[in-house]
Amino acid sequence: MKLEGSYVIAAPKQKVWEAFLDPERVRQAIPGCEKMEALGNDEYKATLKVGVAAVKGTFEGKVRIADKNPPDSYRLSAEGNGAPGFVRSDTVISFADAEGGTRVSYTADVQVGGLIAGVGQRMLGGVSKMMADQFFTKMSEIVTAA
């Protein structure tokens, strides 16, 4: 499943870049993220509690940041497993100056399997968009409050 979108955050590009690479600020903004621990070398262990329709559960997995091109872009790879199935994603996040702040754009390739895949692509796409909106709204609040 392909996902993409962009959001404008009312802050300078460097400040937004730094916030998006700060594991604690990112953890606070991810819906359902219970913990995010550094493993070293831009790799993190994360625990998320999520629910899609009647399928709910906890996912544990790893998040890795690669291909950093400060302050313009980086690649975020994630994979997680839990009772509801598995999720794998490969996302390119880019930052550009925009009127009123910084435009943060993302393009993600997401794979899901197990029970969670049974809820259907349309519903998964809607839930993914909703979670992305919640994440970017919270990141915008965190960045502009700092």
- Nearest to residue 92, comparing CAs of 80, 104, 75, 115? 75
**Would you state the pLDDT for residue 115?**
84
Total domains in the chain come to: 1
DSSP-assigned states of every residue in 67-135: EEETTTEEEEEEEEEETTEEEEEEEEEEEEEETTEEEEEEEEEEEEESGGGGG-HHHHHHHHHHHHHHH
Residues 6+ apart with CB under 8 A from 107: 2, 3, 4, 91, 92
SS3 state at 2 = strand
Residues (pLDDT < 50) of the chain are none
Task: Work out the percent of the chain whose per-residue pLDDT is above 90.
Answer: 77
**Would you state the pLDDT for residue 84?**
86
51 strand-pairing partners: 56
- Domain of residue 136, CATH code: 3.30.530.20
- Please give the residue range of the domain that contains residue 64: 2-145
**Would you state the pLDDT for residue 118?**
81
**Would you state the pLDDT for residue 106?**
97
